Chains A and B, each alone.
Chain A
Amino acid sequence: MIGACFVGVKAIRPVGRSALTPSLQAQKIGLDVRRWGRNVRSLAREKAGNGDSEGRKMTNVLTARPLRLETPLTQYGRTDKTGFRVRPRPVAEKGISLIAGQLTARQARRLVVRRGIYRPSVDAVRHTTVSDLSDADFTVRPDPTPAIPDHVLVTYDGEWDDEVAERFNACFGPTVTEEDIDV
């Protein structure tokens, strides 16, 4: 359950503020907002329109819905052997993907798989919060894409070994397969 992440001594942190400001989010992906000047938004949009990757990243950071410590996060998975991912894919992956919001399995499937047949007994979700993952030493940041504007990336500063995978897994509530969650 979610409470598993709070085992041990944890610092008390204020709830209700942004976990990461846009400028800090930009800094985490190597972009310095100050270097972009006062018109950072319009400059980023202009650069993005010309196909510039830094411009796209900066636009993404500035337009992403801010994450708060209490923001619920959804992971899409299955009840079959696929299960839920607890560590990044072995090659070239930056982290594990989640979606900001308390989504149902049908909603999450729609965003990730996009089409095909929803299977109520197989398609599943589980939930956590920014706070739970942060307390377990994971970094959570918005990483919007055209397909999933509320896409969130979870990373870990270090080797994502079995212990880290177990800690990540423990941050989530139970697997939910039916549309029984208020959105």
Chain B
Amino acid sequence: MSDQIAIEQGRQPWLPAGNAELVATLHHYDMPLVGVIRQAGYLYLFRCIEGHIEASNLWAYTRLDRNELASLRQTSPDDLDATLDHLSDGRPTILALSHEDNGVTFSALIPHPLAYPSLLHAAGEALHAASSEIDEKLARSVA
């Protein structure tokens, strides 16, 4: 079984599957922006990484363990960002694109986030790769 979160298209990013449960909200502004989800017994940190107040936004999901959740809950507001960076840095990450009307519309696994200048670059490359594959199939289907 994969140790990455399973995302269902059309779901809201803070509850990205029918079997996902929101166990902690660390940052909320009009919607949960950073928090922890439990799915099938595993814990996942979710973060909005771009588009915090926009209609569409980009999200990152990484695995956590119980001790890390406990440390997040005890983190002071001043240390929150550093703790989040520490807990997510370099870990395999699922990136998801979401729109407030349609929920999650695209997601991709980024096995090695540190290979990119930022998660936004990784998302751009993943979307570009998907688009190129579709273009190739489209070209073949009409040839």
- Residues on A lying within 8 angstroms of B by beta carbon are 48-49, 51, 76-78, 82, 85, 88-93, 96-97, 112-115, 143, 145-149, 151
Within 8 A of A (CB), among B52-102: 52-54, 73, 75-77, 80-81, 100-101
CB neighbours of A92 from chain B (8 A): 12, 15, 31
CB neighbours of B25 from chain A (8 A): 145
CB neighbours of B76 from chain A (8 A): 146
Chain B residue nearest in CB terms to A153: B28
CB neighbours of B80 from chain A (8 A): 146-147
Mark interface residues in B23-38 (1 if CB within 8 Å of A CB, else 0): 1011111110110000
CB of B113 to closest CB in A, whole Å: 16
CB of B100 to closest CB in A, whole Å: 5
Select A148's contact among B15, B27, B53, B54, beta carbons within 8 Å. B27
Report the count of interface residues on B (CB-CB < 8 A): 24
CB neighbours of B101 from chain A (8 A): 90
Select B29's contact among A78, A82, A148, beta carbons within 8 Å. A148
B54 and A82 within 8 A (CB): yes
CB neighbours of B75 from chain A (8 A): 146
CB of A60 to closest CB in B, whole Å: 11
B26 and A85 within 8 A (CB): no
A–B complex contacts, Cβ < 8 Å, 15 sampled: A76-B29, A76-B53, A89-B30, A89-B100, A90-B101, A91-B12, A93-B31, A97-B29, A97-B30, A114-B81, A115-B81, A145-B28, A146-B27, A146-B80, A147-B26
A51 and B73 within 8 A (CB): yes
In the assembled complex, the Cα of A179 lies from the Cα of B31 at a distance in Å of 26
CB neighbours of B12 from chain A (8 A): 91-92
CB neighbours of B103 from chain A (8 A): 91
A96 and B81 within 8 A (CB): no
| SS class, residues of chain A in contact with chain B | loop
B53 and A85 within 8 A (CB): yes
In the assembled complex, the Cα of A88 lies from the Cα of B53 at a distance in Å of 11
CB of A91 to closest CB in B, whole Å: 6
Q: A90-B101, A148-B29 are in contact. List 17 more A-B contacts (CB 8 A).
A: A48-B73, A51-B73, A76-B29, A77-B53, A89-B30, A89-B100, A92-B15, A93-B30, A96-B30, A97-B29, A143-B28, A145-B26, A146-B26, A146-B75, A146-B77, A148-B27, A148-B28
CB neighbours of B30 from chain A (8 A): 85, 88-89, 93, 96-97
B52 and A147 within 8 A (CB): no
In the assembled complex, the Cα of A82 lies from the Cα of B52 at a distance in Å of 11
In the assembled complex, the Cα of A49 lies from the Cα of B77 at a distance in Å of 16
B31 and A78 within 8 A (CB): no
Chain A residue nearest in CB terms to B54: A82
